[in-house]
Amino acid sequence: MTAIRLPKEIKTLVRTLKRELSAEVDVELVPGDDPYPDRYRLAIVSKMFERMTHLKRQDFIWDIINKVLDREHSLAVSMVLAYSPSEMEPLTKKRS
């Protein structure tokens, strides 16, 4: 993802996610011409997600987001993608 300038609240969130999940976190600015403050998509890769369902991953991450950000700033997070490292590996077998 392209390097972007992040507001301090989002930087704090990224640091917290990295620390609490031992994760790699990428942030992408959501394109748009809405005058509302910028919105961001987060992609998080953590070994903690290996045996966790997608719903539990989302719940876990959003609990952290809601602890770190107040309601107004949490609205800046438009989407959260959560992957385990194995889900990021290229497929080596052909699917039939």
pLDDT reported for residue 1: 44
Of 55, 57, 30, give the one whose Cα is nearest residue 41. Answer: 30
Report the distance separating Cα 54 and Cα 77, nearest Å.
Answer: 18
Average pLDDT of the segment spanning 7-35: 92
Strand partners, 79: 41
Q: In this predicted structure, what is the pLDDT of residue 85?
A: 95
pLDDT digits (tens, 9 = 90+) for 48-70: 999 999 999 999 999 999 999 99
Which is the CATH superfamily of the domain at 8-87? BolA-like (3.30.300.90)
**Cβ–Cβ under 8 Å, residues 25 and 43:** yes
Percentage of the chain lying above the pLDDT 90 cut: 74
**Per-residue pLDDT band at 3 (split at 50, 70, 90):** low
